[in-house]
Structure 1
């Protein structure tokens, strides 16, 4: 085989380990560190995306009971008065942005714990029992496991780091930069290692997923033309069952791979000399046959960055449109449209991952390019309605965030990523983080 190593993605081109902070709290409950007396430097956001209004869930009053002092009529409600007034989705009486209701009285995710460590993340995955796995560099490559409450279970040095996936039995697979594919048991024991053959030009690992009793990985085939090669591997040994390629004559810019039912999907965009750029959704069956390639795209998104499968076999895609901003789209198994939902006014959001969870809720994680790469996670219901949106910090000069992944536990949501901070002497410190959100 020829498993291709990858070059550092554009978001990771900043020199990441010139200087690492040595005193970063390990676990934070809400926004209060357990082992430090100071709180994280998170300021309430002054703006928030337009979210649908909903019934209050905090049990507070829903009408004002104060008068204006002159006519005896109720005074107009204001955000922060603890009363859910017209036009407010919530009002908990404070301006804390991470408690489920922010300073603009819009819904946000309720953060119940935070982990912060020196270094950066390259991989994120969650097991069915809620165990969280991350890979990264701190400064050596590592693989680590965390319990649903954010406590670390184990941390090992790894040959390399990269995207992760976990199968139903709890086995962890990592598609690494230069070391091929590695498999680990839930207790961190390495099960097998399939290395690349020969010297290859580094290229990004496009993705990996499990399904139909197999492991699937995607990468670029070496050569002048950019073609994606999808491989099916035996999960117990890493043996290659088959390889399949995208069509000749098409330069592919792929973003993500997902297994949904008996189909393997690769999403991105494609181009040729005749038709130019078009959205791509390459579909393979479990024997490696290419079933379809182009994607009908009535909303002119041009590029889809992430996809996942829902419980009924539907697909959910996340990407962005120059006209509409961040777009989440749900397709039936035959790829006919069910709905598309754009987050109005958010034109600079790019999407890193989208995940379907319990009750067909959908979480999309990415960054706001208009706010110094500010990380953001959106939670949608199965009909596309935006339930809440959370930004991980307030925009700051010389601070950049790179969200890596998001996943559902049985009754919670976890997101992870990295932060790059340029210091006064132009050195750079990096921090990786995990945040656990409550799901009502």
Structure 2
């Protein structure tokens, strides 16, 4: 059995091991690094390079003449009038107030938090409580209220992906430390750890249902097959485990429980068929139902997924040609729509989440030289409602978006910032941003 009751905490990851993320782009959050929330979006600057993602139907407003003819003068972005070709115009160039400097719709930032350290896990409860796990410099788990104020912060035996169940209990899947469970008030409930493994067991994903917890890791040692496990929510005991087929090398990225199916998304390859998109499908008894995913976009890698209440699947990925891609499938995995949003090339999508009203949020970052990250909000039919881009990168500053989640009437995104200084030392900070949904 892979997981046994935990005895001694394993060694923590060093900064040098984490520096592999340094190819990920930068973000600037707030006027200066801070460790308290800011109450107004006007104090939270964002991108000076506006997204080239116009959305919505522009509405013509009043126009002025040039004083010499009866013809109206051309509209100017920032004049407070919504002209042809503009999705909005609020009369200023503040990018984080819902309308950016290019008169396209952007997310309205209502608060920002920034702290020292880095985060590797992000989740939100149904009541809007925000949970993050990370290092600062020891492993921690922290909770924040919907307004960004910190509720509690505790040391934890590990850090990694998080999920919260309907009762508010928090489950953490750690690379080195197995699985940990906590009550909403931070009380530790149980902890099961690796069975004497000398090498880490990289986490793929974690999700929770009404009666069970599901996790996915790579097979210890080989890292060519994925192991999916069902655990008892009350104790962490393994109910069953299932593996992807032998002979298929797997690059798995995320796990989601949707209805009565467990899905693992990524890609797979073998000597005969080459590389194919993967959507490994298991039933709740552990039987493998399918492995391959039809991919008309040929994005080569889908790396995030979530489910809607009616059993539909939402996938997110990226393509060097068209940028960030979001895709919605029916429960039978037939195509409903695909939306290539463009604007951010070489995007690496970290997370996609389905929320109220079938709205869909995706967060990712550019793995190329430009280093641009974004949070995109989509309607249930795939239409892009707004995109909040992070600021242009500075030399030696790289940003790693981690997660995004829906509260009752707001959206929160989080990630880490890596800064390499002239003396080659690297410092890290992590951030949360609260957005208005409408």
TM-score normalized by structure 2? 0.91
**Does 2:26 correspond to 1:28?**
no
**1:90 is matched with which residue: 85, 88, 91?**
88
**Does 2:106 correspond to 1:103?**
no
1 CA distance for matches of 2:418 and 2:304? 23
**Does 2:53 correspond to 1:50?**
yes
**1:227 is matched with which residue: 225, 228, 233?**
225
**2:113 is matched with which residue: 95, 115, 136?**
115
Question: Deviation of residue 325 (structure 1)?
Answer: 2.3
Matches within 5 A, 1:188-203: 188-203=186-201
Aligned to 1:35: none
| Aligned pairs, number | 421
- Per-residue CA deviations over 1:361-405 (Å, capped at 9, x if unaligned) read 000001023465332110000001111111132322221100000
1 CA distance for matches of 2:19 and 2:340? 25
> Aligned with 1:27: secondary structure?
coil
2 CA distance for matches of 1:369 and 1:3? 34
In structure 2, the CA distance between the partners of 1:238 and 1:224, relative to structure 1 (3 Å rule), is closer
Structure 1 gap segments, 5+ residues each: 15-21, 33-38, 57-61
1 CA distance for matches of 2:223 and 2:127? 42
Question: Deviation of residue 319 (structure 1)?
Answer: 0.5
In structure 2, the CA distance between the partners of 1:65 and 1:295, relative to structure 1 (3 Å rule), is closer
Question: Deviation of residue 48 (structure 1)?
Answer: 1.2
2 CA distance for matches of 1:167 and 1:44? 35
> Aligned with 1:359: secondary structure?
helix
1 CA distance for matches of 2:355 and 2:134? 25
RMSD: 2.1
8 Å CA contact retained: 2:58, 2:85 = no
Aligned to 1:17: none
**1:154 is matched with which residue: 144, 152, 155?**
152
8 Å CA contact retained: 1:214, 1:234 = yes
Range with greater deviation from structure 2 (364-373 or 144-153): 364-373
8 Å CA contact retained: 1:200, 1:222 = no
- Per-residue CA deviations over 1:165-194 (Å, capped at 9, x if unaligned) read 000011000011211100000000000000
**2:64 is matched with which residue: 53, 63, 66?**
66
1 CA distance for matches of 2:159 and 2:353? 21
Aligned to 2:256: 258
8 Å CA contact retained: 1:79, 1:103 = yes
In structure 2, the CA distance between the partners of 1:395 and 1:44, relative to structure 1 (3 Å rule), is same
In structure 2, the CA distance between the partners of 1:398 and 1:30, relative to structure 1 (3 Å rule), is farther
Aligned to 1:427: 425
TM-score normalized by structure 1? 0.91
8 Å CA contact retained: 1:353, 1:365 = yes
8 Å CA contact retained: 1:64, 1:75 = no
Aligned to 1:411: 409
8 Å CA contact retained: 1:258, 1:264 = yes
1 CA distance for matches of 2:387 and 2:53? 9
Aligned to 1:2: 2
- Per-residue CA deviations over 1:38-96 (Å, capped at 9, x if unaligned) read x56x464334132323356xxxxx42342202114321101000000000000001000
8 Å CA contact retained: 2:90, 2:99 = yes
- Per-residue CA deviations over 1:178-212 (Å, capped at 9, x if unaligned) read 11100000000000000110123224200100124
Structure 2 gap segments, 5+ residues each: 5-9, 24-31
Aligned to 1:141: 139
8 Å CA contact retained: 1:123, 1:136 = yes
In structure 2, the CA distance between the partners of 1:333 and 1:163, relative to structure 1 (3 Å rule), is same
Aligned to 1:167: 165
8 Å CA contact retained: 1:64, 1:77 = no
8 Å CA contact retained: 1:419, 1:432 = yes
**1:374 is matched with which residue: 358, 365, 372?**
372
> Aligned with 2:357: secondary structure?
helix
8 Å CA contact retained: 2:359, 2:378 = yes
In structure 2, the CA distance between the partners of 1:375 and 1:23, relative to structure 1 (3 Å rule), is closer
Range with greater deviation from structure 2 (414-423 or 194-203): 194-203
